[in-house]
Chain A
Amino acid sequence: MSTPTLTRQVFDIMDLNLWYGDHHALKNINFPINKKEVTAIIGPSGCGKSTFIKTLNLMINMVPKVKMTGEINFNEKNILDEKIDLVELRKNVGMVFQKGNPFPQSIYDNVAYGPRVHGITKKKHLDELVIKALMDVALWEEVKDRLTAPALGLSGGQQQRLCIARALATKPDVLLMDEPTSALDPISTLKIEELILELKEKYTIVIVTHNMQQASRVSDKTAFFLMGELIELDSTSTIFSNPKDSRTEGYITGRFG
C-alpha cells in the first residue's frame, strides 16, 4: 500500500468490486486519483460511471442491497471500513449532480447549508464562507444583490454553479461531478468547464461525462469504463491520441456507445 507516489494521491482504489443485489456493477477496479488533477470518467451509459463516482463519497450506501469488496483509500484511510465517519467524509468529498438541485430556500441559505450542518453558526463566519464560495464559482457578481432571493429563481446554469458553490462551502478536498453539464445549454456548459479549469488549482476533481470533447478539454487524466470494468486509465492526451486498448479506441472514435 505504501508506494512512494502515495503522497500525491488523494484516492487509491484497490480491487473494488460492487454488486447491486446479484448484478456485478463494478469489477476489480484499481484506480489512483491524484491531487489537484481533473480526472474524467467516460464510457457508454450503464457502464458504471455513476456507480463508481458514488462510491467515492459513499452516496452509494443510500442504495439498498449494495455490496462492496476491496479498498477505497481516501487520504490513506480505507473508507469501506465500518468505522468511517460519513459526515466527515462527505464534508471532504463534495458532490455535484447531473441536474442542479438547489434547495427551495434562499441563495444564501443554500450555500450556508453545508457549513451550518457542520456546526458553524456565527453569522460573520458563514458570510465569509458564502461569499468565498460564490466568488469561487463566479456567481458572486450575479447574485450579490439578491442573496435572500429564492435559489430556484436562478437560471439552470446559475443553479448548477450555485450547487458547486454549495459543495465548496464545506471546504472539501475533492469535488465529484456526475455529468454536471448534461442538462445545460452550450454557453452555461462552457462556463462550468472554465470553472473546472480554475477550480483544479485548489481542488481534486473527478468528473463523469458522456461528452468526449469535454473530457479532453478539462481533464488531466481520463478513465474509460466498459461494462463495469476500468479498461484504461491514462493521461487524457494519451487516451485520446494513442489509446492502448482497442476498445478505448473504438469508443473514442465513435464505433460504439
Chain B
Amino acid sequence: MQICIYPIMTYFRGVWCIMEKIIPAKERLTKSSKNRMDGELRGKILVILCAVIMISATISITIFLGTKGLQSFIKNGVSLIEFLTSTHWNPTNQASPEYGALPFIFGSFAVTFLAALIAAPLGIGAAIFMTEIAPSWGRKILQPVVELLVGIPSVVYGFIGLTVLVPFVRAHVGGLGFSLLSGMIVLSVMILPTITSIATDAMGTLPKNLREGSYALGATRWQTIRKVLIPAALPGLLTAVVLGMARAFGEALAVQMVIGNVRNLPSSILDASATLTTIITLNMGHTTYGSVENNTLWSMGLILLVMSFAFILLIRYLSSRRKL
C-alpha cells in the first residue's frame, strides 16, 4: 500500500519506480491503472466543464436574445412586417410611433457587401502575391502589415476615418462626408486582414504537386493561378470573404463614427445612413429597459444573431465542399 503515502497529485512516474521494486506485477497492474484512471477522470471532468460552460453561455445568450428580440412583436404589438419592410423609424412619436427598421437593415447589408467588394479582390490578390509571386520577400513584408492591421482597435479606425476620410470625401467626392462610402471604406480596411490571412492559408495549403502538374504541361504562372490554383482554393477563398463579411456586419463603433447615422434610406452611396449595430449602440443608452423602443433594439440584435448564424452555415457549407 505504498501508494497511500503519496499525495493525491503524485506524479505517476515516481509512483511507478517505487512500485516496481515492491509490488508484484499483477497487483501493480491494477493499482497503477486505478491511479491513472483517477487522473484521467479529473482531466475529463475539467474539460467537460469548460465545454459545458461555453455551450450554456451560448445557449443562454441565444435564448435571452430570442425572447427579448421577439417581445416587441409579441408583447408590444409591433408588426413584424412593418419592422422589416417599412422605411419609417420614429419610435418617439407619442401619437403614432413608427417602427420601420428597413433603412438600418439595408444599411448593414449595403456596407457589408460594398466593403467585401473592395476587400475581397485586395485580400485575395495579396494572398496570391504572398503565396505565388513572391513567397519569400512578399510574405516577409505583407505578413507584419496584416498582423498590424488586425491589432489596430476599431475605435482607432473610426477616429482616423472621422478625421481623415470624412473630410476627404466631403472635399473631393461630394456630400457631407458622413456616408455609406466612408463606412464601406473604413470597414473594408478593417476586414482586409481577415480576408488576406485566411485566403493566404487557403492558397498556401494547396498541394505543391498541383503547381508542378500545371507547369509541366507548359502552363504559365498566370494560367496556373487562374485555371488551377484559384478554382482549387475557391471554397477557402469564399470562406475568407464570408468571414470578412461576418465581421463587417457586426462592426459597430468605427462605422458609427463615419456613417452619419440618419434614419432615412440612403439614395446614393454619398448619403449618410445607419446600420443595425450603429442604431443599437446609439440608442441603447437613452431608452428605458422594457419600453417598446428598447425592445425593438433587441429585435435588431436578434437580426444580427440570425445573420451570424447564416454566415456560419454558409462557411460550413463552403468548407464541406473543400475537396483537397
Q: Which of B41-49, B121-129, B149-157, B227-235 contacts A (4 or more CB under 8 A)?
A: B227-235
In whole Å, how far is B100's beta carbon from the nearest beta carbon of chain A? Answer: 47
| Given the contacts A105-B231, A150-B323, A94 and B209 also touching, CB distance less than 8 Å | no
Of B19-27, B77-85, B177-185, B210-218, the one contacting chain A is: B210-218
A90 and B217: CB pair below 8 A? yes
Contact A90–B207 (Cβ < 8 Å): no
Q: Give the interface SS of chain A, mostly helix, strand, loop or mixed.
A: helix
B214, B216, B323 — which one has the most chain A CB atoms within 10 A of its CB? B216
| 21 A-B pairs with C-beta separation under 8 A | A57-B216, A59-B215, A59-B216, A86-B218, A89-B218, A90-B218, A94-B216, A97-B216, A99-B209, A103-B213, A103-B214, A104-B323, A104-B324, A113-B217, A113-B228, A114-B217, A117-B219, A117-B220, A163-B213, A167-B216, A167-B217
Q: Is there an interface contact between B214 and A113, defined as CB atoms closer than 8 Å?
A: yes
Closest-CB distance, A95 to chain B (whole angstroms):
4
Which one of A62, A104, A116 lies within 8 Å of B215 (CB-CB)?
A: A62
Alpha-carbon distance between A131 and B210 when the two chains are bound, in angstroms: 23
Shortest B182–chain A CB gap in Å is 40
Chain B hits for A97, CB < 8 A: 209, 212-213, 216
Instruction: Give a binary string over B22-63; 1 marks a CB under 8 Å from any A CB, 0 the rest.
Output: 000000000000000000000000000000000000000000
Cα A166 to Cα B215 in complex, Å, equals 12
Interface presence of A87 (CB below 8 A): yes
Q: What residue in chain A is nearest B224 (Cβ atoms)?
A: A117
Shortest distance from the beta carbon of B237 to any chain A beta carbon, whole Å: 13
Give, as a whole number of angstroms, the nearest-CB distance from A205 to chain B: 15
Collect the chain B residues with CB atoms within 8 Å of residue A73's CB.
none
Alpha-carbon separation in the docked complex, A255 to B217 (Å): 39
B187-241 residues with Cβ-Cβ distance < 8 A to A are 207, 209-210, 212-220, 223, 227-228, 231-232
Known contacts: A101-B207, A103-B228, A150-B323. The answer to whether A114 contacts B218 by CB under 8 A is yes
Task: Let me know if A77 is at the binding interface, CB within 8 A.
Answer: no
What CA separation (Å) do A97 and B210 show in the bound complex? 11
Q: Within 8 Å of chain B (Cβ to Cβ): is A88?
A: yes
Is A210 engaged at the interface, CB distance under 8 Å to the other chain?
no
0/1 interface trace, chain A 79-106, chain B, CB 8 Å (1 if under): 0000000111111001101010111110
Q: Which residue of A lies closest to B216 (CB)?
A: A95
B residues near A (Cβ < 8 Å) are 207, 209-210, 212-220, 223, 227-228, 231-232, 323-324
The docked-state distance in angstroms from the alpha carbon of A90 to that of B210 is 16
Tell me the residues in window 180-204 of chain A with beta carbons closer than 8 Å to chain B beta carbons.
Answer: none
Least Cβ distance of B143 to chain A in Å? 19
Distance (Å) between the CB of B62 and the closest chain A CB? 37
The answer to whether A166 and B217 touch (CB under 8 A), given A99-B209, A101-B207, A103-B210, is yes
Whether the Cβ atoms of B218 and A88 lie closer than 8 Å is yes
- CB A148 to nearest CB in B, in angstroms, measures 15
A114 to B227, CA, bound (A): 11
- C-alpha gap A77/B197 in the complex (Å): 45
Contact B217–A170 (Cβ < 8 Å): yes
CA distance A102 to B231 in the complex (A): 13
State the Cβ distance, A27 to closest chain B Cβ, in Å.
25
With a cutoff of 8 Å between Cβ atoms, the chain A residues found around residue B219 in the complex are 87, 113, 117
On chain A, the residues within 8 Å of B220 by CB distance are 87, 117
> Which residues of A are found within 8 Å of B324, using beta-carbon distances?
104, 152
Min CB distance B209 to A, Å, is 4
Chain A residue numbers with a CB within 8 Å of B209 are 97, 99, 101
On whether A113 and B323 interact (CB within 8 A), knowing A90-B215, A99-B209, the answer reads no
Q: What is the CA–CA distance of A114 and B218 in the complex, to the nearest angstrom?
A: 7
Cβ of A103 to closest chain B Cβ, rounded Å: 5
**Chain A residues whose C-beta falls within 8 Å of the C-beta of B215 in the assembled complex:** 59, 62, 90
Q: B210: which A residues are within 8 A, CB to CB?
A: 101, 103-104
Q: Which residues of B contact A104 (CB under 8 A)?
A: 210, 231-232, 323-324
Chain B contacts for A114, CB-based, 8 A:
217-218
Contacts of A166 in B (CB 8 A): 213, 217
Interface residues of A in 119-154 (CB under 8 A from B): 150, 152
A244 within 8 A of B: no
Contact between B212 and A59, CB atoms less than 8 A apart: yes
CA separation between A104 and B321, bound complex, in Å?
11
Contact A103 B216 (CB under 8 A): no
In the assembled complex, the CB of B103 is this many whole angstroms from the nearest CB of chain A, namely 43
A90-B215, A90-B217, A103-B228 given; 19 more Cβ-contact pairs under 8 Å = A57-B216, A59-B212, A59-B215, A62-B215, A87-B218, A88-B218, A97-B216, A101-B207, A104-B323, A104-B324, A113-B217, A114-B217, A117-B214, A117-B227, A118-B218, A163-B213, A166-B217, A167-B216, A170-B218
